[in-house]
Structure formats: structure tokens, C-alpha cells
Amino acid sequence: MPKFAKRANDFGNQVAPEYWFHNVWYAFWESLTPEGPDLYIDERMDAALAYMSAEQWGDWVYTTRKFDPEYRQRFYL
């Protein structure tokens, strides 16, 4: 069986991060009820802090919520 060199963009069974973000994550995030993003984040915070710092968690929350109009209004962004 021939061996093939892995390409730089070979994600194995995973799809490219941009595809996943735009076609899976964003669709999920937009489907949440108005209180859904806060609940999603609150329910996952403890588990996430087991493997990332509080600063990394805050950065993730900001990156995830920064385009959310309600979040922007709440925090004057």
C-alpha cells in the first residue's frame, strides 16, 4: 500500500477550522434563544477552566460573543 505524505492542510477526519466555524458553530450559535448564549457559556465554564486559564476562558468568551448585538450593548463594545 503506498504511503502518502500529509499535506499541510490535511486535517485527517476533521474538516478545516474555517468550514467548521462557518457551517457548524455559527449555525448552532445563531439558533440559540436570546438567553441561550449565556446559558451555554455558564454551563461549560467549570469544565473549561479545568484545562484552560481564566484569562483564556475570558478570551474565548469575548471572541465567541463579540459579534452578538445584545452582548455588545450590554458591555458597551
Residue 16 in any domain: the answer is: no
Decide: pTM greater than 0.85. no
DSSP 39-64: HHHHHHHHHHTTTS-HHHHHHHHHHH
pLDDT tens-digit series, residues 20-35? 888 888 889 889 888 8
Cell numbers for 31: 439558533
Burial class (CB in 10 A: 0-12, 13-18, 19+), 14: exposed
Average pLDDT, the chain: 82
* Assigned domain for 45 exists: yes
Domain count, the chain: 1
- On whether residue 60 sits in a domain, the answer given is yes
Domain of 57 in residue numbering reads as 34-77
pLDDT per position as a tens digit, 52-69? 999 999 999 988 888 787
Phi, psi for 10 (deg, rounded to 5): -80, 110
Q: Is residue 56 a part of any domain in this protein?
A: yes
Within a domain: 40: yes
